[in-house]
């Protein structure tokens, strides 16, 4: 553990720098800065020697363990009731977008002949919640930091592109804040990128985006579980120690969701958990970014860029189409119920046929 301290300290320092950049430029997500710092130091000869030497144990620990702990804490940000209030139609629509994005990205990556398990990692990251989803799937596929590096880089770059492009499209088309927020929540990858995108249309758009995005995050556990079952069925783990169908930290994520949804947790606890989650994920993303070597990607640079942009366009267009379709659906108005017949003698005027007042009969007083 002592050997890991220098690398952990550097990863924590990267989170601090990311926090300062985010304070100065709120539109730039902290986690995006952490990835960018990791990529930057991985290209400089002096720092590369340190990353491969004294810093390696700590950076590797951050990329793996910190990521898993951060995913567990992410569950405390999800409330099932908020998602259910979207309504069945919108829930099914978001699930459909996730399924289309996952399958389409996987096929695009396979067609481009990305190596190893990268197509599966890339599909998970684009469809669900960015780098944290890639880290969760990597536990099932047993992918190391090097195999995760290209999917993380593509998710980060394309998500950053969405922060700029989606608001421009929303403004040009005159989208309402709620519709734009749902589009951002359904079509942008990382949670931080969703926030940075939606907040440009105001608080209403941000609230709508977060609820839709949290529904996508909830799909992390079933997608990872299904992938584990499929990999076992195909026998791709033969000769190795078979991984659990659902990694332990994903179970922790589900437990955290249930705790948040069923128990009245103190606001101070939730705020502290969110801060710790951001720190852990930032350290992990710095570690993953530090595993990216541009010289290793030189032979597939153009192909990799085409895969990322194609997958990004697929999910953006699919999410926009679903948001438009849901907005076009109108619930049929219920026909007004006929008024019940009034009993005879009630509610009638006591005036005569020509407006004269009827006199009471004798003895009726």
Q: Is 188 helix (H, G, I), strand (E, B) or coil?
A: coil
- Distance, CA of 22 to chain centre: 19
pLDDT at 198: 87
For residue 252, the Cα-to-chain-centroid distance in whole angstroms is: 18
* pLDDT attached to residue 360: 47
Residue 246 in tokens = 């659902």
pLDDT at position 363 is 45
**Interval 138-164: pLDDT, tens:** 888 888 777 887 888 888 888 888 888
Residue 151, token pair as written in the block: 């999917």
Q: Which two tokens stand for residue 57?
A: 């144990």
CA distance 257 to 74: 8
Which long-range contacts (C-beta less than 8 Å, at least 24 apart) are formed by 85-89? 85/211, 86/211, 86/212, 86/215, 89/326, 89/329
365 residues of the chain, pLDDT tens digit each: 688 888 999 999 999 999 999 999 887 888 888 888 988 888 888 888 888 888 888 988 888 888 888 888 888 887 888 878 888 888 899 999 999 999 999 999 999 888 888 999 999 999 998 888 888 888 888 887 778 878 888 888 888 888 889 999 999 999 999 999 999 999 998 877 888 788 888 878 888 888 898 889 888 888 988 888 887 777 654 555 555 566 777 788 889 989 998 999 999 999 999 999 989 988 988 887 887 777 666 555 678 888 989 999 999 999 999 999 888 875 444 444 555 555 555 444 444 444 444 444 444 44
Question: Is 231 in contact with 142 (CB distance < 8 Å)?
Answer: no
- According to DSSP, residue 42 is labeled T
pLDDT of residue 312: 92
Domain ranges of the chain: 2-294+303-328
Residues 323-353 pLDDT 10s: 998 888 754 444 445 555 555 554 444 444 4
- Decide: 156 and 163 in contact? Cβ < 8 Å: no
The confidence score (pLDDT) of residue 42 equals 86
Q: Which residues, other chains included, contact 336 with Cβ-Cβ below 8 Å and sequence gap of 6+? A: none
What pLDDT, on the 0 to 100 scale, is given for residue 13? 94
Question: How far from 100 is each of 31, 96, 107, 309, 311, CA to CA, in Å?
Answer: 26, 6, 11, 16, 10
Beta-carbon contacts of 167 under 8 Å, excluding residues fewer than 6 positions away, are: 180, 197, 200, 201
Enter the tokens of residue 154.
């593509």
Return d(Cα 100, Cα 92) in angstroms, integer. Answer: 12
pLDDT the model gives residue 293: 73
Residue 208: count of CB within 10 angstroms of its CB: 24
């Amino acid at each position: 553990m002592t050997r890991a301290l220098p690398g952990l300290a550097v990863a924590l320092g990267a989170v601090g720098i990311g926090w300062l950049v985010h304070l100065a430029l709120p539109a730039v997500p902290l986690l995006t800065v952490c990835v960018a710092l990791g990529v930057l130091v991985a290209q400089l000869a002096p720092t590369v020697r340190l990353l491969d030497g004294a810093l390696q144990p700590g950076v590797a620990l951050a990329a793996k363990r910190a990521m898993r702990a951060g995913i567990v804490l992410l569950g405390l940000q999800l409330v099932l009731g908020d998602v259910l209030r979207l309504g069945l139609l919108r829930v099914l629509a978001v699930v459909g977008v996730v399924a289309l994005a996952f399958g389409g990205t996987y096929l695009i990556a396979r067609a481009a002949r990305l190596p190893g398990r990268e197509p599966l990692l890339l599909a998970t990251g684009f469809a669900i919640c960015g780098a944290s989803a890639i880290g969760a799937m990597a536990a099932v596929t047993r992918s190391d930091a090097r195999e995760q590096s290209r999917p993380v880089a593509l998710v980060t770059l394309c998500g950053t592109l969405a922060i700029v492009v989606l608001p421009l499209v929303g403004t040009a088309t005159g989208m309402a804040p709620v519709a734009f927020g749902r589009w951002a929540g359904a079509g942008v990858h990382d949670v931080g990128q969703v926030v940075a995108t939606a907040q440009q249309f105001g608080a209403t758009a941000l609230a709508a985006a977060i609820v839709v995005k949290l529904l996508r995050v909830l799909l992390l556990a079933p997608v990872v579980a299904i992938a584990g079952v499929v990999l076992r069925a195909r026998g791709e783990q033969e000769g190795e120690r078979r991984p659990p169908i659902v990694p332990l930290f994903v179970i922790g994520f589900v437990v955290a969701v249930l705790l948040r949804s069923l128990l009245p947790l103190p606001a101070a606890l939730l705020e502290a958990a969110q801060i710790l989650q951001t720190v852990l994920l930032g350290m992990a993303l710095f570690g993953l970014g530090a595993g990216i070597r541009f010289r290793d990607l030189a032979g597939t640079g153009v192909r990799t860029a085409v895969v990322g942009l194609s997958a990004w366009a697929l999910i953006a267009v699919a999410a926009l189409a679903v948001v438009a379709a849901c907005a076009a659906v109108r619930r049929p108005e219920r026909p007004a119920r006929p008024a019940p017949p009034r009993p005879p003698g009630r509610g009638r005027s006591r005036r005569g046929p020509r407006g004269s007042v009827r006199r009471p009969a004798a003895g009726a007083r």
